[in-house]
Amino acid sequence: MQNAQNILITGASSGIGEALALASAKRGARHLFLCGRNAERLESVADRCRAAGAEVQAQVLDVADETAARAWVNACEAIAPLELVFSNAGIGTGVENEENVRRTFATNVAGNLNIVLPALTCFRARSDKSGRRQIVITASIAGYAPLPACPSYSATKACMKPWALAWRKPLAREGILMNVICPGFIRSRITDFNTCPMPFFMEADRAADIMLDRVNRNVGLIAFPWPMRFASWFLSICPWRLAEFISNFLPEKNSDATNVSF
């Protein structure tokens, strides 16, 4: 497939979302609809995308707000029919207290529903079903197996991976594409707070190019780098007692950050 022209990206103020926005602009995207929770960082990303030639609408938005998220998706669709939707916004927490756990689930699970479901409604409402209609959800390799270092983050990403993949076949009958990205350690505000080892660490701009290339090829599960994918997959298929034993040797995530967004 050719590069999409009308692209919506959540969590675009930093990390993977920022890199996807900039890479999309450089690849010739015409309309970019970007949201994030930090106005200053978001506007900086928007300005750089405009300098690369894209028309950009930037909106400060918390995807956990269902009403606001739906209104924003509908407003973007009214400006230019969306071709590619990156439901990317997410947070991680280094302190598993009740407030942070609830916030992580509200953003990483409900936040995805608040973007994906309105986008599907927009896609289905179009009279012309021949155009590109594609949704990409950002999960994580951390979602392959339960990780004691990040229980809430691991669980929320584990939820998104099978949800997206299970949608692929029924949505394909409607001409709608669904993909899920499971990256390893990619530079972001979350990894900036990590104190644990981060094997196969990758800069966000390189990761964004990999993601966009595979999205354009409609790869269903976009998981990389492969050594981390294999290790996480192996841990997920181990008998539980063995997996629990192996987990005892994994490094702890000693982050002082309470909630950090992408």
Is 144 a known active-site residue?
Answer: no
Encoded tokens for 50: 């405009």
Given the residues 144, 153, 185, 262, select the one marked as catalytic: 153
Ramachandran angles phi, psi of 11, nearest 5°:
65, 40
Stronger pLDDT, 201 or 30, i.e. the higher one: 30
Tens digit of each residue's pLDDT (9 = 90 or more) over 83-100: 999 999 999 887 899 999
217 has pLDDT over 60: yes
199 pLDDT band (50/70/90 cuts)? low
108 has pLDDT over 90: yes
Stronger pLDDT, 124 or 236, i.e. the higher one: 124
Q: What is the mean pLDDT of the chain?
A: 88
Tens digit of each residue's pLDDT (9 = 90 or more) over 167-181: 999 999 999 999 999
pLDDT at 262: 46
pLDDT at 195: 58
Hey, CA dihedral for 182, 186, 190, 195, is it positive or negative?
Answer: positive
